[in-house]
Amino acid sequence: SEKIAVVPGSFDPVTFGHLDIIKRAADVFDTVYVAVLNNSSKRPLFSVEERMALMAEVTKTLPNVRIESSSGLLIDYAKEKKAKAIVRGLRAVSDFEYEMQITSMNRFLDETIETFFIMTKNQYSFLSSSIVKEVAKYGGDVRELVPVCVVAALKEKYDFTK
Ligand SMILES: O=C(O)c1ccc2[nH]nc(Br)c2c1
């Protein structure tokens, strides 16, 4: 039967690190749902619509990847999509403790959904959306860290001459 995975995240904004994980998941699973999360306590820089549009643009060459937003419990969303796998990216060891906590809670909530971890490319192991926003805010060059449409979106957000 069709093997479906969910790749959840805030993607505020999507980086090459995220894209690397999504591409690897799309290689393994028949269908991948990227779930742009709309329930973070912190105020995101980009709206959920902007984050979905950027994600759609950077994954448009991947025919088995669908972009959706979700604001409820991740395991409820996964069940709704008939996904039996949640896929998360791991960068450095520092990610592991938090991911373990989330994964054990999800298993407690729903034993039937498994979480898989994909190690991101070494060159992206320092990369995060927050560090990219910091660099872009002060005019740094992020062209090797995020796709070109995200470079433009960041310039737009941080153009203080407007
Ligand atoms: O951009 C982030 O904040 C972030 C967080 C956690 C992450 N795990 N794997 C990846 Br790629 C990743 C990216």
Nearest to 150 by CA among 46, 60, 69: 46
- The one-letter amino acid at 144: E
- Extract the tokens encoding 1: 């039967």
Q: Which atom of ligand 1 is nearest to 130's Cα? A: 3
| Mutation pick for ligand 1 pocket among 11, 15, 130, 150 (CB with most ligand atoms within 8 Å) | 15
Q: What is the 161 CA–ligand 1 centroid distance (Å)?
A: 31
- The one-letter amino acid at 60: K
ipTM of the complex: 0.88
| Residue 92 confidence class, pLDDT cut points 50, 70, 90 | confident
pLDDT digits (tens, 9 = 90+) for 24-70: 999 999 999 999 999 877 899 999 999 999 999 999 999 999 999 99
Q: What is the pLDDT of residue 60?
A: 98
Q: What is the pLDDT of residue 40?
A: 72
Residues counted in the chain: 162
| Residue nearest atom 12 of ligand 1, based on CA coordinates | 89
Output the average pLDDT for the chain. Answer: 96
- For residue 32, give Cα distances in angstroms to 8, 28, 61, 64, 75: 10, 9, 13, 6, 15
Q: What is the pLDDT of residue 116?
A: 98
The C-alpha angle with vertex 32 and arms to 111 and 15, in degrees rounded to 5, equals 110
Q: Which atom of ligand 1 is nearest to 124's Cα? A: 11
